[in-house]
Amino acid sequence: MTVRRDAIIVGGGIHGCSTALHLALRGFRPVLIEKDYAGRHASGVNAGGVRQLARHVAEIPLSIRSMDVWEGIEDLLGDSCGFENAGQVLVAEDAAELDACRTRVADLNLRGFDHEELIDAAELRRLVPAVAETCPGGIVSRRDGAAEPARTTTAFRRRAESLGCLIREGVAASNVRREGGQWRVDAGAETYEAPVLVNAAGAWAGRIAAALGEPVPVETVAPMLMITSRVPAFIRPVVILRGRKLSFKQFANGTVLIGGGHLATPYPDTGETVLDWRKLQESARTVFDLFPVMRGATIVRAWAGIEARTRDDLPVFGPSARHEGLFHQFGFSLHGFQLGPGAGAVMAEMIATGHTNTPIDGLRIDRFARA
Amino acid sequence: MFKRLQADTRKPVGIFVDGTAVTAREGDTVSAALLASGLDVRRTTAVSGAPRLPYCMMGVCFDCLVTVDGTGNRQGCLITVREGMRIEIQKGKREIGR
Amino acid sequence: MSAGPTRSEYDVVVVGAGPAGLAAAATAAGAGLSTLLLDENAGPGGQVWRAIDTTPVRAPDLLGRDYWAGAGLVAEARASGAEILQGATVWGLDRNLEVAVSIGGGSRFVTARRVVLATGALERPFPIPGWTLPGVLTAGAAQTLLKSSGLVPEGRTVLAGQGPLLWLLAAQILRLGGGIDLILDTAERANWRQAWRYAPGFLFTPYFAKGLALMREVRAKVRVVSGVTALSAEGDGRVERVAYTAGGRRETVPVDTLLLHQGVVPNVNLAMAAGVKHAWDPIQLCWAPVLDETLATSVPGIAIAGDGAGIGGAPAAVVRGRIAGLAAVEALAPTAVRRGPSMETLRVARDRAERGRRFLDLLFRPSRAFRIPDGDTVVCRCEEVTARDIRDAVAIGATGPNQLKAYRRAGMGPCQGRLCGLTVTELMAEARGMTPEEIGYYRLRPPVKPITLAELADMPQSESAVRAVVR
């Protein structure tokens, strides 16, 4: 049976769900197709960082736009998503790293961005009292924070559905094609047809793009995370390191999340991952060094979410360079969660109006062809 | 809650429970020693502060969590008592790092 | 600080030193394979032969002949050349057969050419109102205290539930001079209708005579109320009363200790974390690994023996352990000299040891009322999530145990679903009108037992460092 909709979104991560919601808010009646369930992979199991801090300049405007959506997320979704904005702090472990921080902030200021702020040792200690005393300072982005990823993605999904988006979970999108000026996608017994197709399929999006003649240098990765049992509150902002791979955050319930980008082995065909405990041991040693207070904390769970990483670590975001009505929204390369809410808004804006005022030129899909 | 067999001839082992001296027996787990101590050894949960005592005694339920010699969240039912061991009953969220 | 494994690679790593693990390790090491046996308890024996080296309960008939039968296998395993490490908690295993173990405060990684999981069983969750109150324990917990420390309950004691272990525990408590005030038998009489067909097979097993004798021994001394259909523990800060319904009448009795039991189920956490495929067993009402006839799992190189392969009891566990051990020998050292029985002999022995099991499974199938709770009864003890919380989450869109995590923290505490997973699966299946197989189970990952950061870092957790605490 063929079902006509206004747009077809492939992928039920935070990006697909956010685009679905924002299209629905603009009066569209999209269908979202998700092979597992919304938030099954990276969007549901990432570190939950809501971070403008330390981003590539090409995605800073999108990140800032997204921050505005985050700050109104409860009004938008009817769910706080566990969002807290106690700031994010990038820690320099020595003088050389602090110098690099200083250069970075000066460069951003020249470009007109003022969300990152250089801090000295005293301010670092004020913000993060538990950090090792040898650290000379860093950068803070005070509006940043964190949210609960599965809850957030699920909240977008539910709100989109309540506004008329059709959600198809547990069926894979297949046979993506353009016929007679319409996009057609098979899912289960149905064929969906729409003038607009959004490729937001995360780790699986590269295959769709390639099949439509727009190959992108993208690999499948699975960053690992681990979380402790509940401990008393001792750290408010999210902490990331400039040098070593570590991010560190305490949720309101007391659990502490330890991440930083060490990778598991992904098996995208089955959706499984195999963790690399020797790398997690490195993370544990870094925490051991920098947060002595955490040495006796208990690690309760560890996991990895499968996602796509591009060659230049920047997402592919915007209209196709080849096909009318096709839009890409993938390859967020381990830092797409904060961008999700804003990217959905920008994507819906582009689909509905044909343009957006948010500068996203550096994220075009044809940048790889030009290079 | 639990009483010892008269014929138990195992060697006594002295431990401290929140500073109180308790005589356990060689081979007792921490949880067994606590349940036989006659003391109020209820911990409280980190979630709601509800009181708990060991439930499964075989390492699966985590209701026996105690601080042993300064390390918190240890499964008392899997650790054997040693002379001079210091045991603290956990109340709510345990202080990290101790 | 105890020493870790002496090597970084072994032919065979066996996890769990109960009947199956001891048999597997003895068989593999006995044929000359380098074999490491890891067990998290202080001594070998698993649950059934717990503390067999150290129990203060020395008089042979107090714990019974089946208990002391373990001594021979423990001796065989020790003499086999297997390296046996106690106090060694295995918290990770993956498809590359890398085993992560925490021992003596540090983490070690060893690789194996074959892994035999003999992680046994745990008691089925018994989620009744008040089951989290201090003074409510499992019957298995009381039996552990009895075997390893010679402890018996003091004060007013009630046993509630059903199954062979409940009666065995009652007999053992009585033999040691403990008192039991009341047994509340929750066995459903209607179960006989399904079970009787399998009764002839059961009559010829040793369980039959033993079971009858135990029940007689206990009934002679303790009041037993049969046909209990509802049960709750009540009290302020600890259990003070147990309320029950039998024959349509509700009664309340004062109690100091309430011991619960309604059978055992496979302990699946490590196997599932390693990616082993499991299926729902609609008779035993639990997840069990999908195995071939040599007990090999869906993950090449990993076998599962003992009750972890599906509940079969101790004699079956021993035979299964030997089968898994012998399969490793046949795969890794096909020319090794074998002293033990052949695979064919073991298969026959296994069939014999498992005979009568179906009868017990059906007769002691726990009723819905004690598996799928209602209202504010706690389901997840760690995160204190109730049955109502889960039904509410289903009503607003949670479709399975993993999706539930977006709404509630059920299964996310330190026990990692061991005490709530089956309840969550069955409760969500009922609420959604689907089968447990369709609903599925928590996606499990290492560490399957929590480890401290210092342990993972494999760094000493020195006193001075530890005391550097943020106030």
Judge whether A289 and A94 are in contact, CB under 8 Å. no
Nearest to C109 by CA among C460, C461, C423, C447: C447
Which of C54, C383, C470 is closest, CB to CB, to B47?
C383
**Domain end point (choices A267, A294, A310):** A310
Within a domain: residue A76?
A: no
Q: What is the pLDDT of residue C463?
A: 42
Give the tens place of pLDDT for each residue, A244-283: 889 999 988 889 999 988 999 999 888 899 999 999 999 9
Q: What is the pLDDT of residue B6?
A: 78
Within a domain: residue A79?
A: no
Residues of chain C with CATH 3.50.50.60: 9-122+265-340, 125-262
Q: Which two tokens stand for residue A231?
A: 């401990």
- In order, the DSSP letters of C3-72 are ---S-SEEEEEEE--SHHHHHHHHHHHHTT--EEEE-SSSSSSTTTTTTTTT-S--SHHHH-HHHHTHHH
For B51-64, what is the mean pLDDT?
97
- The Cα–Cα gap between B58 and B81 comes to 16
- Expressed as residue numbers, the domain containing A265 is 85-142+219-310
**Measured at the alpha carbon of residue C158, what is the angle toward residues C157 and C159, in degrees to the nearest 5?**
125
Q: What is the pLDDT of residue A15?
A: 98
CATH architecture of the region C9-122+265-340? 3-Layer(bba) Sandwich (3.50)
Are residues A363 and A223 both part of a single domain? no
Neighbours of chain C (3+ CB pairs under 8 A): A, B
Any CB–CB contact under 8 A between A130 and chain B? no
Interface test with B, best of A228, A231, A290 (most B CBs within 10 A): A231
CA distance A298 to chain C (A): 4
- In order, the DSSP letters of A272-289 are EEE--HHHHHHHHHHHHH
What's A255's domain CATH number? Answer: 3.30.9.10
Share of chain A above pLDDT 70, in %: 99
- The Cα–Cα gap between C161 and C140 comes to 12
ipTM of the complex: 0.96
Q: Which residues contact C147 (CB under 8 A, 6 or more apart)?
A: C50, C51, C55, C57, C63, C67
Among chain B residues, CA nearest to A291? B97
Which of A254, A292, A297 is closest, CB to CB, to B46?
A254
The CATH code that applies to domain B12-89 is 3.10.20.440
Any CB–CB contact under 8 A between A2 and chain B? no
Residues of chain C with CATH 1.10.10.1100: 372-439
- The Cα–Cα gap between B42 and B64 comes to 9
Q: What is the pLDDT of residue C160?
A: 98
For B73-91, the three-class secondary structure string (H helix, E strand, C coil) is: EEEHHHCECCCCCEEEECE
Q: Which two tokens stand for residue C56?
A: 């203060």
> DSSP character for C370?
G
Q: What is the pLDDT of residue A370?
A: 62
Any CB–CB contact under 8 A between C94 and chain A? yes
Interface test with A, best of C444, C470, C471 (most A CBs within 10 A): C470
CA A46 to chain centre: 8
Give the tens place of pLDDT for each residue, A72-98: 999 999 999 999 999 999 999 999 999
Are residues A243 and A284 both part of a single domain? yes
Q: What is the pLDDT of residue C213?
A: 92
**Measured at the alpha carbon of residue A170, what is the angle toward residues A168 and A175, in degrees to the nearest 5?**
75
Judge whether A66 and A106 are in contact, CB under 8 Å. no
For C130, counting Cβ atoms within 10 Å of its Cβ (0-12 exposed, 13-18 middle, 19+ buried), the class is buried
For A311-317, what is the mean pLDDT?
97
Fold topology of C372-439? Arc Repressor Mutant, subunit A (1.10.10)
Neighbours of A369 (CB within 10 A): 11
In the predicted structure, residue A294 carries a pLDDT above the cut 90: no
Interface test with A, best of B67, B68, B95, B96 (most A CBs within 10 A): B96
Q: Which residues contact C334 (CB under 8 A, 6 or more apart)?
A: none
Q: Pick C462 or A343 by higher pLDDT.
A: A343
Q: Mean pLDDT of all residues in chain B?
A: 92
3-class DSSP assignment, residue C164: helix
Neighbours of C225 (CB within 10 A): 17
Q: Which two tokens stand for residue B29?
A: 């787990």
Q: Which two tokens stand for residue A167?
A: 């959600």
Q: What is the pLDDT of residue B7?
A: 81
The CATH code that applies to domain C125-262 is 3.50.50.60
Q: What is the pLDDT of residue B72?
A: 87
Are residues A183 and A288 both part of a single domain? no
H/E segment holding residue A356:
none
H/E segment holding residue A95:
helix A95-110
Any CB–CB contact under 8 A between A297 and chain B? yes
- The Cα–Cα gap between A136 and A130 comes to 14
Q: What is the pLDDT of residue C153?
A: 97
Any CB–CB contact under 8 A between A296 and chain B? yes
Are residues A229 and A109 both part of a single domain? yes
Judge whether C75 and C292 are in contact, CB under 8 Å. no
Confidence of residue B94 (pLDDT cuts 50, 70, 90): low
- The Cα–Cα gap between C384 and A17 comes to 30
CA distance A290 to chain B (A): 13
Q: Pick A231 or A196 by higher pLDDT.
A: A196
Report the DSSP beta bridge partners of residue A4: A193
Are residues A123 and A238 both part of a single domain? yes
Within a domain: residue A12?
A: yes
Are residues A138 and A223 both part of a single domain? yes
Give the tens place of pLDDT for each residue, A116-143: 999 999 999 999 998 889 999 999 999 9
Range name among A51-60, B88-97, C88-97, C404-413 with the lowest pLDDT average: B88-97
Within a domain: residue A353?
A: yes
Q: What is the pLDDT along chain C (471 residues), one digit of tens a residue?
A: 457 899 999 999 999 999 999 999 999 999 999 999 999 999 999 999 999 999 999 988 999 999 999 999 999 999 999 999 999 999 999 999 999 999 988 899 999 999 999 999 999 999 999 999 999 999 999 999 999 999 999 999 999 999 999 999 999 999 999 999 999 999 998 998 889 888 888 888 888 888 899 999 999 999 999 999 999 999 999 999 999 999 999 999 999 999 999 999 999 999 999 999 999 999 999 999 999 999 999 999 999 999 999 999 999 999 999 999 999 999 999 988 777 899 999 999 999 999 889 999 999 999 999 999 999 999 999 999 999 999 999 998 899 999 998 899 999 999 999 999 999 999 999 999 999 999 999 999 999 999 999 999 986 554 433 333 322
Report the DSSP beta bridge partners of residue C37: C14, C84
Q: What is the pLDDT of residue C339?
A: 78
For B11, counting Cβ atoms within 10 Å of its Cβ (0-12 exposed, 13-18 middle, 19+ buried), the class is exposed
Question: For chain A, how many structural domains are there in total?
Answer: 2
Give the tens place of pLDDT for each residue, A173-220: 999 999 999 999 999 999 999 999 999 999 999 999 999 999 999 999
Q: Mean pLDDT of all residues in chain A?
A: 95
Among chain C residues, CA nearest to B78? C41
- The Cα–Cα gap between C136 and B55 comes to 7
B65/C414 touch (CB, cutoff 8 Å), yes or no: yes
Judge whether C316 and C128 are in contact, CB under 8 Å. no
Share of chain A above pLDDT 90, in %: 88
Q: Which two tokens stand for residue B19?
A: 């500073």
3-class DSSP assignment, residue A97: helix
